[in-house]
Structures are given as C-alpha cells and as structure tokens.
Structure 1
C-alpha cells in the first residue's frame, strides 16, 4: 500500500503538470495554428475553437473509462500510462507538420488528461475519510499553481520559438513519468478491485449510475453547476476586462495569476482546516455562496481596482469543491472510487464544453449595438445564479439523505 504523504505529493505534481501542460500552450497554440493555416487569422480562430471542444469531448468520453480501468487494474498503471502518453503527445505537438497532426495530438491530450479520475481515486485510497477534504484540496492547489505557471512560462518560452514550450512540457512530463515508474506505489488493494465493465466505463451510463447514491447524484449536479460558473474565467475574462476596464494582456495576466495564487492558498492550506472546523456540508454552502457573491460583484464592479478585492473574497469559493468531492468519496465503496471520480470528471468536461459557448454568447448579446441598455456584466450575473442553483441542489441532496440539519 502507498504511504499517504509521498504518494499525494507525487499525485499533486502529476496534476500540476496536467494543468501546466494545458496552460503552457495557451499563449502559443493559436499562433501555431495560424502559422499552419498560412496566416489566415479567421480560419485559425475557428480551428482553435474546434481543437478546444475536441479536447473536452475526449475528456468526457474517457474519464469514466480510465476511472473504471483503475478500479480493475489499480491506479498506478493508469496514471503512469497517461503520463507517458502526455509526454509523447507534447512531442507530436512540437513537431506537427500540418493542422491534422494538431487535431490528433489534442485527441491524445484529452484522453491522457482524463487521468484526473484515477488520480482523484488515488487520493481517496490513501487518505482517511476525515482528511479527504484536505486531500482533494490539493487538486485545487495543483489547478491554481498550474494556472499561474503554465501561461507565464509558455509566453516566455514562446519568444524563443512557437514549438519550444511543447518540447519543455514533454521533457518535464516524461521525467515525472520516469520518477513515478520507480517510486509510485499502488494504492488500491487487490481485494478492493472489481471487474471492468463497459457499463461503468460508458460516459452516459456512468453518469446515470450515480443515481444509486442519492447524495452523490445530487452533489454531482452541484459539481456541474459549480464548474459551469467557474469556467467563466477562461471563457470570458480577457474579453470582459478588456471591454469594461481597458485592460491589456499584462493586467489580465496579473489578475489571473492572483486568481491562481489565491486558489492554491485556499485549497491547499485553508480548505482542510476550515472544513475540519465547520464540517463538510457547511463547507459546501460556504464555498458556493462565496462564489455567488464574487460573481455578482464582478458583474457590478465599475473600476478595475475593485476586481482585485473581489478576487480575494471570491477565493473562499475554493472551499466548496474539496468539501463536495470529500462527501461524494465517503458515500461510495473503495472498489468504486475510480468509476465515480471518472463520472465526476466527465461532468467537469461537459461544463468545459458548455461554459465557453454559454458565457460568450450571453456576453455578446448583452453588449450588442442595438441593445438599448448594454449590460456587460450579465454573464457574471448568470454565473451568480448558477452558483446559487448549485447550493440549492446541494441542500436538496442533503435533505434527501437526511443530512439537512446544520
């Protein structure tokens, strides 16, 4: 069996590299696509959108597959295979001669990034139930740090060539794979493994299977709405702050770096302590209500300096996700953690597909030239409503499970 602390550190590094790998290509992928399409910016914009949708679709399909495979064969082989695949994928991106190779690489990227399900199950395996909220908080911290480091380093490396960031990401990922091959122990005992079935690996059936646990099904809805609201940052932040406050790329980068720093601080350090003190249910409510308040304030903020204050307040919303995941993991048996975490990652992928379309369309409608009263903050008001809906679903799930009392 795995020793909790070293194992979680490795998983943290692995998840960080997943997000870092996504972030490091953000500044250079659109330019690479444009280069491969002969400098046609309009065509490149469409291709970048399809590449993003394809990536999220692959995550949706394969998250439950990898989760169920980890329930059958263990977490270690799935995580290591995904790491190796990611490293090779970055090399393909670095040397891609045509746009078709980029599409192939994004398919592989989406599949290998679905290892979040196995990594989440690993955390559930090696941490006792009362400490899982803190363990899942490490996932949020990995997101935050990867969100800071990826775009920043990708931009710096991109100055030395559009393909340089991919080569660096490949090297780091393959080194982590090599390190894991020697030091990462298996976390799932053989007696807790279960046969692989396509029913548990099917993305739609995996979602409907959550209905076996009423509290899990309700919190899965909470998780979806929370992710839908949170995905407004990558979908709309640049457009919104540029229009409303006249921010340039430097100001956008500073603000997003602060979002990442605060997410890392809250989810890695504060979340576990707060949840241990107030309980998981209150942690869910606190996180979602803080998110709702922050989204409303973003929509109402009239000056750019206000945004930085709101980021600090909104970071408390990071408590909600680890509290939700902890409650879900406690509700299912050890041999089904991978399948359930895979279903949750599929839900995250669906939110990642829907959010850019929803929030940018609402933003475009709200600022249309023929609009009598433009309301550029409308999308953030919508995200506020979605956050409140997530809290309502959580309350309903707790009530059905007989957990509605404070």
Structure 2
C-alpha cells in the first residue's frame, strides 16, 4: 500500500501544478497570439457563450480554464476504461508504466509549448494517458480484503488530498520564475557578444520571439517540475511496484472498450452500475461547486488569489483528516453505505450554508461540512463499486468509475458557471445542494455489500 500511495501522490503533484496557472496562461497566449488561430477561435466561442449567458467581467479567464479543464477531463472520460480494462488483462504494473510515460511526454510538450496549439496538444496527450488513477485504484482493490477495502480507498483519498494540497502550491511558486525571460536575456547577451549593433537589434528580437514561440514559455518551470515528478514516478514504479493482479484472476475482458457509457451499460444490472451513476451525479454537483467557489469568495468577501489558496489548503487538510483518520474508523463500525449516506447529507448541508453565508467564519464552516462529506463519500463509493464487482473486472469497473467522474468534472464547471451568471450565487448553490439529494436517495436503496466472498 505504501508503494501505491506514493505512486498516486507523485502523480497528482504533477497533475495539479497547473491548476492555479490557467488565468495567467490565457494572458500569456493572448498577448502572444491575440485573436488569431486556435486561441482566437476558442475565445470567440467563449465570448458568444458569455454574451448568451449575460455575463461580464473576467468571464474569459473563467471559461478558458473551464474549457481547458474540460478538454483534459473528456479525454480521461474516454480512455480511463480502456486502460482499466487493459490492466485486467496484462497487469497493473505494465499499464502504469505506459500511462506514466505518456503523461511525462505531455509535460515535456508543455515545457516547449511556445504556441497555444502545442499547449492544447500537450493537454490532449495528458488526458489520453490519464489512466494512472483508475489503474492504481484497481491495484488497491487487488491488495486489500473485502473487509478492509474502504480503508484502502481511504489511503488513496489521503494521497489525493496531499496531491491537491501541495501541487497547486508548487505551481504558484514556480510561476514566479520565468525561464523564457532568461532565454531571451541569454539570446540578447549572445548577440551583443557577437558584435551585433543596434541596426540589427530588431532582427535579433524577432529571432528571439521565434525561438520562444517554439520553445520555452513563462510556464516552462512548472512544466519541468511536473515532468520531474512524472519521471520520478516512472522510476519508482519500475523499481518498487510489484504486480498486484493475481494471474489466476486475469479476465478475458476485451482490450478495446467502445465507450465508457457503453462499458457501463454492458455491466450487469445491479448495485455496481447504480453506484457508478450515483458517483457521476455527485461529482457533477460537487465539481460545479468547487469551480464556482472562487467567484463566490471574490464577490462576497473580496478574496484575492492568495486568499483562495488558503481556502484550498483548508479543504485539503479537511480531506486528509477525514479520509486518513475518521473513515478508517467509521467504516468498520457502521459500514460503507451508512458512511456514504452521512457524507452526502453533510455535503448538502455544507453547500447550502456556503450559498447563503454573509461572514467568513460561516463560509469556512460550510467548507468544513462539504469537505468532510466529500471525504466520507469518495473512499466509500470507490469501495462499494469494487465490492459490488467481480475480481476479474476490477480494472474495467473502476476505470468506468474514474471515467464517469472525469465526464462530471468536464460538465459540472460549465453548467455551474452558466447558472452562476444567470441566477447568481445563492440560487446556484441551492440548486447544487438539491442535486446532491439525488445520490442520497440512490444510496439509501443500495444493498449492504457481501464481504465474506
């Protein structure tokens, strides 16, 4: 479990580094390319959508981040079941080596993304190889007993919390150091040393701009750190990760999966399929709340980016505490289903409070309730999906589980932002809280999992 924990944590460090950088990335590429090419087409579509929504202000930066996040999540949605299914056939270790290698390649491309198009290719490549988490989760299912499945998933949740806690912090700090500025300065120094006079200065600037266009950019250092984390993870898996899938349990699941929804519908009717849909609806609502949270905090309390960092650190600490301590003790005593139901009610109460608060302490109380509820939900839902599924299909079913979560994270922010601009914060958050009652009703109808199989 320790090896799997570090595998997930290191992977998430690289994945979350980019989170605080989206607005600055937009500013950079817009200054570089303006309203031309791929960026111009994307911004034009965002402008039309924002005009339809009746929004104003910083909608470009907000929807730009949402669209880029959605691109990545949609690729995860498509490919997670493929990697999960393949791991059921050839083993977890081999698939992890492939996906982490592909992820490292995407960070390398990001490092050299002097143009917006290259940056988009890097995001698409990263999303396509983002099967690490579903395969690592399946590995947890391999090495835990049915009685301890939720404890194992709780450890996965702690790795998630730590990754989301430290990754954005590393990205924010690394963004202060612009490698492209150093490259431009070195180019100018070399030109001076070569005796290029002022009459050729303009040509030198043009050459420098061209090199920067195809090479380093102001966010190359975060990309380099993400690449470093991926390479460390690759070496760690190659040296320390031992195959967790028993050869006797390798299924005949086809390596090619038509689509995540198709794979889900091909599962037998029963609790595993219903729990996957429960996870999708919850993730749709919760991701919408997460993405719109900066607007709520800015609008009501005048929060700056540094203040938002405090909020996400607070949420990360709540998740670590909940999944690392409370869940591991609560599940053996009360069971996965009861903990899941309590978590959904806590999220509903927390989001309702956040949508109606007028003071900062009340906001943090709502955040604590929502964060604690999410800490209850994520490990118990993944444990239930695993417990409801046969051993030879753990990778496929958990791949579908991660894939549906990715689809929800692609749709949730866009829907929530539209509602936010259309009806405001209070109505949006009350609607999100109402949506979380649907998975609560679905959870009540779930059977108790059989743990002595």
On whether the aligned pair clears a TM of 0.5, the verdict is yes
Question: C-alpha separation between the residues in 2 aligned to 1:219 and 1:120?
Answer: 16
Bigger CA drift: 272-281 or 23-32? 23-32
Identify the match of residue 86 of structure 2 among 69, 87, 106: 69
Q: 1:136·1:325 contact (CA, 8 Å) conserved in 2? A: yes
Identify the match of residue 316 of structure 1 among 372, 381, 384: 372
Q: 2:350·2:368 contact (CA, 8 Å) conserved in 1? A: no
Match of 2:223 in 1: 166
What TM-score comes out, normalization by structure 2 length? Answer: 0.80
Unmatched runs of 5 consecutive residues or more in structure 1: 1-7, 368-375
Q: 1:285·1:391 contact (CA, 8 Å) conserved in 2? A: yes
Identify the match of residue 404 of structure 2 among 340, 343, 347: 347
Question: C-alpha separation between the residues in 1 aligned to 2:437 and 2:11?
Answer: 30
Return the offset for 1:352. 0.7
Match of 1:206 in 2: 263
Match status 1:220 vs 2:276: yes
Match of 2:238 in 1: 181
Match of 2:343 in 1: 287
Bigger CA drift: 308-317 or 319-328? 308-317
Identify the match of residue 423 of structure 2 among 357, 366, 381: 366
Bigger CA drift: 41-50 or 120-129? 41-50
Return the offset for 1:33. 4.2
Identify the match of residue 383 of structure 2 among 317, 326, 345: 326
Identify the match of residue 357 of structure 1 among 408, 414, 417: 414
Runs of 4+ in 1 over 3 A off after TM superposition: 39-50, 198-201
Match status 1:155 vs 2:172: yes
Q: 1:87·1:173 contact (CA, 8 Å) conserved in 2? A: yes
Question: C-alpha separation between the residues in 2 aligned to 1:151 and 1:48?
Answer: 14
Q: In the comparison of the two structures, how many residue pairs are matched?
A: 385
Helix, strand or coil at the partner of 2:129: helix
Return the offset for 1:290. 0.8
Question: C-alpha separation between the residues in 2 aligned to 1:201 and 1:65?
Answer: 9
Match status 1:379 vs 2:424: no
Match of 1:26 in 2: 19
Match status 1:337 vs 2:394: yes
Return the offset for 1:48. 4.3
Larger radius of gyration: 2
Aligned pairs for 1:120-269 (under 5 A) are 120-161=137-178, 162-197=219-254, 200=257, 202-210=259-267, 212-269=268-325
Unmatched runs of 5 consecutive residues or more in structure 2: 44-59, 179-218
Question: C-alpha separation between the residues in 2 aligned to 1:58 and 1:144?
Answer: 23
Question: C-alpha separation between the residues in 2 aligned to 1:38 and 1:324?
Answer: 44
Question: C-alpha separation between the residues in 1 aligned to 2:237 and 2:16?
Answer: 22
Match status 1:50 vs 2:59: no
Helix, strand or coil at the partner of 1:397: coil
Helix, strand or coil at the partner of 1:188: coil
Measured at CA, do residues 176 and 402 of structure 1 come closer, stay the same or move farther in structure 2, by a change above 3 Å?
Answer: closer
Question: C-alpha separation between the residues in 1 aligned to 2:415 and 2:84?
Answer: 28
Q: 2:13·2:229 contact (CA, 8 Å) conserved in 1? A: no
Measured at CA, do residues 284 and 27 of structure 1 come closer, stay the same or move farther in structure 2, by a change above 3 Å?
Answer: closer
Return the offset for 1:320. 1.9
Measured at CA, do residues 50 and 281 of structure 1 come closer, stay the same or move farther in structure 2, by a change above 3 Å?
Answer: closer
Question: C-alpha separation between the residues in 2 aligned to 1:97 and 1:131?
Answer: 48
Identify the match of residue 36 of structure 1 among 29, 41, 47: 29
Q: 2:14·2:225 contact (CA, 8 Å) conserved in 1? A: no
Measured at CA, do residues 280 and 49 of structure 1 come closer, stay the same or move farther in structure 2, by a change above 3 Å?
Answer: closer
Question: C-alpha separation between the residues in 1 aligned to 2:249 and 2:119?
Answer: 39
Residue-by-residue CA offset, 1:9-38 (whole Å, 9 max, x unaligned): 222222223332232112334423432333
Question: C-alpha separation between the residues in 1 aligned to 2:307 and 2:404?
Answer: 32
Match of 1:101 in 2: 118
Question: C-alpha separation between the residues in 2 aligned to 1:283 and 1:62?
Answer: 30
Match of 1:10 in 2: 3
